[in-house]
Amino acid sequence: MKTKNIAVLVSGGGTNLQAIIDAHKSGKITNGNIALVLSSNPNAYALERASNNGIESCVITKGDSREAFSDAILAKLEEYDIDIIVLAGFMHILSGKIIEKYTNKILNVHPALIPSFCGEGFYGLRVHKAALEKGVKVTGATVHFVNEIADGGPIILQKAVYIEEDDTPETLQKRVMENAEWEILPRALDLLCNEKIVVENNIVKIN
């Protein structure tokens, strides 16, 4: 089985990138190599994380044309012979041509239990604020494949996190990251690297 080349796409601090790096170093992600960190933000701390761990990185900013942005990303992915893409706080919607080329090869982690608090406009603290305003008692995180619909791709893994009475969006965000996102994102990536995920009728089966 070919070792998979992984590209992690980032826009900010890269906490989920760090979780992937740590999991890879500890042997929780096998048959995969983090070949590239691609940032849409030249000031993203995630680039520092990549440098500190000897991972090649590049910056591609959006500019005026979404098509040119997507073409530049696709060219870079092809240059590094990328097999799997992980969106780790990447604040842009990927174009159809990237999604088509990498069907069921693009992972995203969403900070809620899809189908709750997801879709266009639900990202970052907005998700946790909405969960608290709704008064739900349980939230969590979801790792899913990326398709043309925001947060609409097949669900791979989910993990629940209980909401506490004194939670703020910030405290909830931190607990969901630490207790759910940083656990299920590396696990899903390992499954994909080892070809243990099958998608049938938009439903994921794990072998």
β partners of residue 142: 110, 158
Whole-angstrom Cα distance, residue 187 to residue 103?
Answer: 19
Residues 74, 58, 193, CA angle at the centre, nearest 5°?
Answer: 60
Tokens describing residue 194: 């080892």
Cβ-proximal residues to 133 (8 Å cutoff; 6+ apart), any chain: none
Whether 110 is a known active-site residue: answer yes
How long is the chain? 207
Structure tokens at 123: 């990202």
Rg of the chain in Å (alpha carbons):
16
Q: Which of 24, 110, 128, 144 is catalytic?
A: 110
Q: Residue type for 75, please?
A: A
**Active site residue ranges:** 110
